[in-house]
Amino acid sequence: MARLILKAGRGKSVLQRHPWVFSGAVKRVEGSPTEGQAVDIISAEGEWLARGTWSSRSQIVARLFTWDPQENIDGELFLRRLKRAFAGRADLAADPATNAYRLVFAESDGLPGLIVDRYADYLSVQFLTQGIATRSELISSLLAEHTGARGIYERSDVDVRHKEGLERAEGLLWGEEPPDPLEIRENGMRFRFSLRGGQKTGYYLDQRDNRRRVAAYCSGRDVLGVFTYTGGFEVYAAAAGAASVVAVDSSAPALEQLQQNMALNNLSTPLECIAGDAFQVLRRLREEGRSFDVVILDPPKFAQSQAQVERACRGYKDINMQALHLLRPGGILATCSCSGLVSADLFQKVLFGAALDAGREAQILEQLRQGPDHPVLLTFPESAYLKGLICRVW
């Protein structure tokens, strides 16, 4: 087996079970590993530390799977890790009100680079690294055998694969093609969306619990939802008794699906859909003198790399400042960031700056985070990517 010999003093993170080895930590490579092949991680002193998979084109040259020298990266390991991940979602699997949740969350489930989402009887998967992509057939066969799914659909159409030297990939891997649109249940609510053409793996499962928490503030209130996609937060708000809902998204088809999801849940709440750039729409609403009791901001990832963090923070500050201007005194701002490189502390500081510039006073009522089917591994803090705040604004 090929070996990565680390530079002196660079083995600490491996000993602490962080699952990434960066190229700058490697002194030399012994052997000629092929992409995705298993490699051993060796300290500068010659001590065996861990075993992972090789990726020559990425800055993360090895993704670590095991710290047990007797454990191989083979089908048995994948089956053990998958079964453990399934067991961790047993409560969700048994909940008749919900049939959509994340089944495997990459490093947090000991399977770096693998995302598996369950949508009713279908699985949506992402193979994001060389180590996972080269084992896609093995993984697909294990999922088919042990999940009872009717079909497995690949949604590896993401830019991060280019960093691994992989092309974007999408299509049916096994079983039946999923219906389009596909219908799921979430906390008793019904949603339809396109698994094949939707964002991420089709739907935003990580906000499931947050949608319910934000909805608790919407009864009898005028609600503005921004970056709505197919309307998760907005449908919950209407079901909670919102007086009216205004939905803003750049995608007209997503807004059409939002309207269908409202009808699917027999909701007759007055709904206004606005297709356009969120920043521009919020400014226009302010110029028109519009105001709301609740504003919900659920933007896409603004920071894809460390170099983009400063620009992302300017974007978060701007969008939140505009939202603050639109809130009536005593109103509620529910605001989120899914940029993993923007920490919860930094996000709160950005919101502080937005409130200061808007001349508004805000009180934090609740802190939001990703759902328990997106667990945060203690040795991998990078897995805590979603953060949010529910604030009362004066």
> Is the bond preceding residue 112 a cis peptide, omega within 30 degrees?
no
Tokens of 186: 């979430």
Query: Is the link from the previous residue into 181 a cis peptide, with omega within 30 of 0?
Result: yes
Q: What is the pairing mode between strands 38-42 and 2-6? A: parallel
Q: How far apart are CA 225 and CA 269, in angstroms?
A: 14
Active site residue 336: no
Q: Write down the catalytic residue from 218, 273, 336, 338.
A: 338
How far, in Å, CA of 362 to CA of 332, rounded?
Answer: 9
H or E element in which residue 368 lies: strand 362-369
Report residue 118: phi and psi, to 5°: -100, 125
| Residue 169: count of CB within 10 angstroms of its CB | 16
| CA proximity to 339, closest of 380, 282, 298, 371 | 298
DSSP 285: H
CB neighbour class for 68 (10 Å; exposed up to 12, middle 13-18, buried from 19): exposed
Catalytic residues: 338
